[in-house]
């Protein structure tokens, strides 16, 4: 044979060390993608959810609300778990607070102005 056994063993040992490093470098792009998704998508969504939960907890009489079902109205009464919303003159419905999708405080500027 042309290659001695000692040289063959040394070459195999060096290859396994490079294999472990290569495996880590192969996973590095996946970690980078997760970090980018976290900062660009997950974190802003969590902030929006926290902001909505705070607005729903602080809803009061006179606020304009939009429900998850698309009803738009003005809050006339607030209870622990429910809100009474006037959707038309003399037409009031009780809505579960958790279904509120948007809360606009009394006297705020409309979106189209």
Q: What is the pLDDT along the chain (113 residues), one digit of tens a residue?
A: 566 665 555 555 545 556 677 778 888 899 999 999 999 999 999 999 999 999 999 999 999 999 999 999 999 999 999 999 999 999 999 999 999 999 988 766 665 55
Q: Domains plus CATH for the chain? A: 59-104 (2.30.30)
List Cβ neighbours of 64 (8 Å cut-off, separation of 6 or more): 72, 73, 74, 75, 103, 104, 106, 108
The pLDDT of residue 105 is 81
């Amino acid at each position: 044979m042309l290659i001695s056994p000692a040289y063959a063993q040394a070459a195999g040992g060096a290859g396994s060390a490079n294999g472990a490093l290569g495996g880590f470098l192969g996973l590095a792009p996946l970690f980078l993608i997760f970090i980018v998704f976290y900062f660009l998508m997950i974190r802003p969504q969590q902030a929006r959810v926290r902001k909505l939960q705070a607005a729903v907890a602080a809803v009061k009489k006179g606020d304009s609300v939009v429900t998850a079902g698309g009803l738009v109205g003005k809050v006339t009464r607030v209870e622990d778990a429910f809100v009474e919303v006037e959707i038309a003159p003399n037409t009031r419905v009780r809505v579960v607070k958790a279904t509120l999708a948007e809360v606009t405080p009394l006297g705020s500027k409309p979106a189209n102005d």
